[in-house]
Amino acid sequence: MKKIKILALVMIFAFAALGGAYATLWQDTVTLNATVSTGNVSLKWAEPDVGDDYHGNSPTNLLDGEDSVAAVLANGDPNPNATDQPQAPGIRRDVGHIALDGDTPSSYLRNDDRDLYVTIDNAYPDYQGEIEAWIVNDGSVPVKIQSITATQSNGAPLPGWITWNVSEDTATTPEEKEAKGTIDILGKLLEASDSEGNVHDTTDPSLTPQGLSNKVKVRVSIHIGDTANMLANQDKTVVFKLKINGVQWNGVDSENNILDLPNEIVNRFD
């Protein structure tokens, strides 16, 4: 009887041990760690130059304080007053004056070079000031010029006697500057920049073998007086605010409208 009891006890412990081994599962875990660093979209102004009207026989560079009637209006149309005497092109007067707002880049380029400050003094009907400058994409993501708007600094509309135009400036001679009219920069693609500010070509060589630039030279024309009768208010100060908006290259459609994120932008590479 003792032997039977001992045997039963041994079997109980044996089954207990078996049950414990069956309940213990072996486990292990693998983990993937990914570091995501986002790029940036960043536009800035560089190398601005200003001057008064372009006209025949003027040098390539913009002139300060030497006015004549603009041969081409800000919108690119011929100026109907260009041949009127005695203010025909070539009759130059030091009257209206456009200038960078300060003597140093830190004065006229502010907010990390995103804001360009220019002043126009003693303007008169048919005066036109010109601004040439580079728009540089110094960010790491390609950018398209999406929109250009102009208002007063408080957001109010500009008075009707101030007209303006922004175009790509590809001219290299005075004659080209007179004749070229308007080259729209909307939709212009600016390549990314590397860490040193140089162009970083992100194009696919199999699709787009030619490289792109990370900057574009623009010409801003500001004309005083409407095209019908040159009306303009005397003794009036208007703070003109021009806003050029750039969007990541795949964030706009073929008509330059901003897409809704994220659904319409996923996997778009055109």
Tokens (6 digits) for 204? 């696919």
Residues 220, 98 contacting (CB under 8 angstroms): no
Average pLDDT over residues 76-88: 63
- 225 pLDDT exceeds 90? no
- 40 pLDDT exceeds 50? yes
- 146 pLDDT exceeds 50? yes
Tokens (6 digits) for 92? 């130059």
Residues 52, 66 contacting (CB under 8 angstroms): yes
Tokens (6 digits) for 1? 């009887």
The pLDDT value given to residue 104: 93
The pLDDT value given to residue 25: 84
Helix (H) or strand (E) holding 248: strand 240-248
- 85 pLDDT exceeds 90? no
Average pLDDT over residues 46-56: 73
Average pLDDT over residues 97-102: 88
Top pLDDT among 150 and 74 is at: 150
Torsion 9-15-19-21 (CA) sign: positive
The pLDDT value given to residue 115: 92
Half-sphere exposure of 186 (CA within 13 A, CB side): 15
- 144 pLDDT exceeds 50? yes
Question: Which regions of 8-152 does DSSP assign to beta strands (E)?
Answer: 43-52, 97-100, 109-110, 115-116, 118-121, 128-137, 143-152
- The Cα–Cα gap between 270 and 266 comes to 12
Q: If you search the block for the tokens 């073998």, which residue do you land on? A: 209
Average pLDDT over residues 256-260: 77
Q: Strand 192-193 and strand 118-121: pairing?
A: unpaired
Torsion 126-132-137-138 (CA) sign: negative
Cα dist from 64 to 67, 130, 228, whole Å: 8, 10, 27
Residue 51's DSSP bridge partners are: 130
- 210 pLDDT exceeds 70? no
Question: Which regions of 138-191 does DSSP assign to beta strands (E)?
Answer: 143-152, 162-168, 189-190
Categorise residue 57: left if φ over 0, alpha if ψ from -120 to 50, beta otherwise.
left
- The overall average pLDDT reported for the chain is 76
pLDDT in tens, 149-199: 899 989 999 998 898 888 888 776 656 665 555 577 888 999 999 888 888
- 125 pLDDT exceeds 60? yes
Amino acid sitting at position 16: A
- 46 pLDDT exceeds 90? yes
Apex CA 127: angle with CA 125 and CA 131, to 5°? 150
Length of the chain: 270
- 53 pLDDT exceeds 70? no
Confidence of residue 9 (pLDDT cuts 50, 70, 90): low
Confidence of residue 227 (pLDDT cuts 50, 70, 90): low
- DSSP-derived 3-state class of residue 6: helix
Average pLDDT over residues 46-53: 84
Q: Considering the chain, what percentage of its residues have pLDDT values greater than 70?
A: 66
Confidence of residue 83 (pLDDT cuts 50, 70, 90): low
Confidence of residue 10 (pLDDT cuts 50, 70, 90): low
- DSSP-derived 3-state class of residue 161: coil
- DSSP-derived 3-state class of residue 114: coil
